[in-house]
A and B are shown apart, each in its own frame.
Chain A
Amino acid sequence: KQEVTQIPAALSVPEGENLVLNCSFTDSAIYNLQWFRQDPGKGLTSLLLIQSSQREQTSGRLNASLDKSSGRSTLYIAASQPGDSATYLCAVLRSNDYKLSFGAGTTVTVRA
């Protein structure tokens, strides 16, 4: 069974610091990995999708890496801003049944 873990569960940093969010998964049989952002009381918004054959994806201040063999992904957010405060979730698309397995998320607070 695919287990997805995100540690730490919560993180607080001063504005301007770079954020490093971790995601680990137990089964490397995946099609892709997605990072989502969730604001309080809202739905999930996709940030980045990395295909299993890729090593990283970038969008603006966001960069996500994927090491499928070791079961790890990292989301980097450069020069954090208070507007980056949210919960970040990762999810893997399992290649055996095409279903998503989600981590519980990391809640980020960026202090002004």
Chain B
Amino acid sequence: NAGVTQTPKFQVLKTGQSMTLQCAQDMNHEYMSWYRQDPGMGLRLIHYSVGAGITDQGEVPNGYNVSRSTTEDFPLRLLSAAPSQTSVYFCASRMGIAGLTDTQYFGPGTRLTVL
């Protein structure tokens, strides 16, 4: 049981480049989400999904795209990288959308630098 996995661990991009951050979970969780973590700020929600084929925007969705074709995978796409997207990105999952006792599981993170 690997939990939540993310690749790559580190990435450097030039302004305007695009890339996909991969996320997978093997716990059969319905709810998956992407956050970014910046110094001095709490984690901010980018996009989330309540099940295969269903995605929605979080607090800071601009410049990012997601899809959820399977329960296991939830990739995050940067359409045209900007220096403001330099951050650490975390993928997370939990069993359901409104589980009162559902713990949130996090991946190890992707540290992204945009030059």
Contact = CB atoms under 8 A, between A and B. Distances in A.
- Which one of B35, B41, B45, B103 has the highest number of Cβ atoms from chain A below 10 Å of its Cβ? B103
A42 B108 contact: yes
B60 interface: no
A34 to B, nearest CB: 6
Nearest to B103: A46
A105 B103 contact: no
Contacts of A45: 106
A104 B109 contact: no
Nearest to A95: B98
Interface string A67-108: 000000000000000000000010100000011111111000
B104 A91 contact: yes
Contacts of B111: 41
B86 to A, nearest CB: 16
A76 to B, nearest CB: 20
B106 A89 contact: no
B45 A49 contact: no
For the complex, would chain A's binding face be called helix, strand, loop or mixed by DSSP majority?
strand
- Which one of A42, A45, A100, A105 has the highest number of Cβ atoms from chain B below 10 Å of its Cβ? A100
Contact of B103 (A4, A41, A49, A102): A49
Contacts of A43: 4, 90, 106-109
B48 interface: yes
Interface in B66-99: 90, 92, 97-98
B109 A4 contact: no
Nearest to B105: A46
A103 B42 contact: yes
29 contacts: A4-B42, A32-B101, A34-B103, A36-B106, A42-B108, A42-B109, A43-B90, A43-B106, A44-B43, A44-B92, A44-B106, A46-B104, A46-B105, A49-B101, A51-B100, A51-B101, A89-B42, A91-B42, A91-B43, A98-B97, A99-B48, A100-B43, A100-B104, A102-B35, A102-B43, A102-B44, A103-B42, A104-B40, A104-B42
Sorted nearest first, the 4 A-B pairs with minimum C-beta distance are A102-B42, A43-B106, A44-B106, A102-B43
